[in-house]
Chain A
Amino acid sequence: MSKLDSRIPAGPLADKWKNHKDHMNLVSPNNRDKIDIIVVGTGLAGGSAAATLAEQGYNVKAFCYQDSPRRAHSIAAQGGINAAKNYQGDGDSTYRLFYDTIKGGDYRSREANVYRLAEVSASIIDQCVAQGVPFGREYGGQLDNRSFGGVQVKRTFYAKGQTGQQLLLGAYSAVSRQIGKGRIKMYNRHEMLDLVIVDGKARGIIARNLVTGEIERHSAHAVVIASGGYGNVYFLSTNAMGSNVSAAWKIHKKGAYFANPCYVQIHPTCIPVHGTAQSKLTLMSESLRNSGRIWVPKNIEDAVAIREGKLRPENIAPENRDYYLERRYPAFGNLVPRDVASRAAKERCDAGYGIENNDTHEGVYLDFSTEIQKKGKEAAVEKNIHNPTDQQIYDLGKAWIEEKYGNLFVMYEKITADNPYVTPMKIYPAVHYTMGGVWVDYNLQSTIPGCFVIGEANFSDHGANRLGASALMQGLADGYFVLPYTIADYLSADIRTGEIPTNSPAFDAAEKEIQDKVNFFMTNNGKHSVDYFHKKLGHIMWNKVGMGRTPEGLQEAIKEIEDVRKEFWADVRVPGDANGMNMELEKAFRVADFLELGQLMAKDALAREESCGGHFRWDHATPEGEAERDDENFKYVAAWEYQGDDINQETMHKEDLIYENIEVKTRSYK
Chain B
Amino acid sequence: MSAQKGLNLTLKIWRQKNNKTKGQFETYKISDVSTDSSFLEMLDMLNENLVNEGQEAIAFDHDCREGICGMCSLYINGRPHGPDTGITTCQLHMRMFKDGETIHIEPWRSAAFPIIKDLVVDRSAFDRVMAAGGFISVNTSGNTLDANAILVPKEDADNAMDAAACIGCGACVATCKNGAASLFVGAKVSQFALLPQGKVEAKRRVLNMVKAMDEEGFGNCSNTGACEVECPKGISLEVIARMNREYFSASVDQG
Contact = CB atoms under 8 A, between A and B. Distances in A.
A129 B57 contact: no
A138 B147 CA distance: 13
Given A140-B151, A176-B127, A176-B134, A134 B68 contact: no
A256 interface: no
Nearest to B126: A68
Interface residues of A, number: 88
Interface in A254-282: 274-275, 277-280, 282
Contact of B123 (A67, A357, A580): A67
A581 B64 contact: no
Contact of B139 (A55, A85, A132, A274): A55
A55 B55 CA distance: 47
B249 to A, nearest CB: 20
Contact of A275 (B1, B62, B138): B1
A580 B17 contact: yes
Given A174-B135, A573-B54, A143 B148 contact: yes
A275 B67 contact: no
B138 A131 contact: yes
B141 A411 contact: no
A599 interface: no
Nearest to B57: A584
Nearest to A70: B168
Interface stretch (B97-105, B175-183, B189-197, B218-226): B189-197
Contact of A279 (B2, B65, B116): B65
A130 B138 contact: yes
Interface in A118-160: 120, 123-132, 134-143, 159-160
Interface in B1-41: 1-4, 17-18, 33-34, 36-38, 40-41
Nearest to B19: A211
Contacts of B47: 529
- Chain B interface category by residue count: 35 or more
Nearest to B94: A277
Given A129-B150, A529-B51, A134 B93 contact: no
A638 B47 CA distance: 40
B179 to A, nearest CB: 18
Q: Which of B45, B151, B198 has the most CB of A within 10 A?
A: B151
A411 B67 contact: yes
Nearest to A530: B51
Interface string B123-160: 11011001111111111111011111011111001101
A384 to B, nearest CB: 21
Interface string B53-78: 01111010111111111110000000
A346 interface: no
A635 interface: no
Given A529-B52, A575-B51, A583-B59, A71 B197 contact: no
A63 interface: no
A142 B157 CA distance: 10
Given A176-B131, A177-B137, A130 B154 contact: no
A168 B90 CA distance: 20
B191 A275 contact: no
Contacts of B153: 137, 141
A132 B195 contact: yes
Given A70-B168, A411-B66, A126 B142 contact: yes
A410 B68 CA distance: 13
B84 interface: yes
Contacts of A584: 51, 56-57
A274 B1 contact: yes
Q: Which of B130, B134, B165 has the most CB of A within 10 A?
A: B130
B215 interface: no
A505 interface: no
A417 interface: yes
B154 A138 contact: yes
A214 to B, nearest CB: 13
A159 B207 CA distance: 28
9 residue pairs, one from A and one from B, having the closest CB atoms? A141-B151, A173-B135, A180-B131, A123-B142, A129-B147, A576-B56, A134-B161, A529-B51, A134-B160
14 contacts: A52-B141, A55-B140, A126-B147, A130-B147, A130-B197, A172-B130, A240-B64, A278-B37, A278-B41, A309-B3, A356-B2, A359-B1, A575-B57, A584-B56
